[in-house]
Amino acid sequence: SPGAVTEHFTLNFTITNLRFTTDLQTPNSRKFRSTEKIMKHYLDPLFKRSSIGSAYTGCKAMRFRSGRHRDDTKVDAVCSYKDNASLARFDREKLHQELSTMTSNATKLGHYSLDRNSLHVHG
């Protein structure tokens, strides 16, 4: 849209059934790229159904890191949206609540299990 500015926010969560491996640390590794593609496959439809749906432009995994337990992988992503008149204003608390609801109280993302206390949206 004319006059629309791209804005960013971060999304963080922990997957409890994805074992962290060192090749997940390397952004150009096959494992990083394939895991990022899977995250996008699950996240994009959620955001499209959210309050920022029409303005959402995508998420990019920035980092996968080791969690507290052997099978935990923490995900740090940067997501984008077009800030324009059709979006009243970015409400991170509302978006967090919507994502929580759409992920079964922040416990499921597709075939992944999430640490229900790990979902964070920072606008």
Residue 114 gets which letter from DSSP? B
Look up the pTM and report it.
Answer: 0.91
Residue 95: give the domain boundaries. Answer: 5-122
The 10s digit of each residue's pLDDT in 28-78 is 999 999 999 999 999 999 999 999 998 999 999 999 999 988 889 999 999
* CA dist., res. 64 & res. 76, Å (int): 6
**pLDDT bracket for residue 4 (50, 70, 90):** confident
User: What CATH number does residue 117 fall under?
Assistant: 3.30.70.960
Q: How many domains does the chain have?
A: 1
pLDDT at position 5 is 86
Q: Could you tell me the sign of the dihedral formed by the alpha carbons of 103, 106, 108, 112, in that order?
A: positive
